Amino acid sequence: MARSSHLVAATLLAAVLGGCGGGATPLTFDLAALPPAGRPVTAGRSIAVSEPVGIQPFEADRIIVREPGGALSFLGGGQWADRLPRLIQTRLIQSLENSGRLRSVSRPGDKVMADYQLISEIRAFDLQAGTGEAVVDLSMKLVADGTGKVVAARIFTARVPVAKIDAGNGARALDQALITVLADAVRWVNTGR
């Protein structure tokens, strides 16, 4: 009896210690912004970019897989460099700044007076196991800062094939899909088209 209780205690201790750093450290992936356009900054509008909102799984720093039945799971072996909404906000700000078409681009908390606020929602940012695609789907609204009136709204979607559903291939495909969405969104913010 004493021997079996020691065996159970040793098994529990091994399980606890195994969970403390015994597993492989996940790879950390970043997302890219659009490169600088090389244009001088014009006296255009100023925009405050809010952090995107989304359902709870998108609030994390994990790469998400959407199964054919709609179930969401976290992909092992990889994570984003920051929480996904914050990372998208940062890359959107950088992309708008790099376009050289706006007077200023900021976050709402920066205490910078803005003509418009860009509000967005993450509708999809995942690997779809059924189709083998990386899907990025963002809804954006341009809101007049003084009145709160929505002056323009659009949904941006991109799909990129994934060679294999794993952390490296998945992160690269999601990054490519986001670059497509960022290019369309920056063009839309700057030109209204």
- Tens digits of per-residue pLDDT, 5-44? 333 333 333 333 334 445 678 999 999 999 998 766 666 7
Backbone angles phi, psi at 131, to 5 degrees: -105, -10
Q: What gap in Å lies between CA 98 and CA 87, rounded to an integer?
A: 16
Provide the residue range defining the domain that includes 31: 27-191
Q: Considering the domain boundaries, does residue 100 fall inside one?
A: yes
DSSP secondary-structure letter at 182? H
Q: Residue 185: its pLDDT value, please?
A: 97
- Rounded to 5°, the CA angle 145-147-148 comes to 70
Instruction: For residue 22, tell me if it sits in a domain.
Output: no
* 96 domain residue, yes or no: yes
pLDDT mean across residues, the chain = 87
Position 10 in a domain: no
Residue 173: which CATH number? Answer: 3.40.50.10610
Is position 9 within any domain? no
Residue 147 lies in a domain: yes
Kindly state whether residue 185 falls inside one of the protein's structural domains: yes
Q: How many helices (DSSP H) and strands (DSSP E) are in the chain?
A: 3, 9
Count of domains for the chain:
1
Lowest mean pLDDT among 4-13, 14-23, 75-84, 116-125: 4-13
Q: What is the pLDDT of residue 181?
A: 98
Residue 71 burial (CB < 10 Å; 0-12/13-18/19+)? exposed
Of 9, 31, 29, give the one whose Cα is nearest residue 181: 31
Determine, yes or no, domain membership for 103. Answer: yes
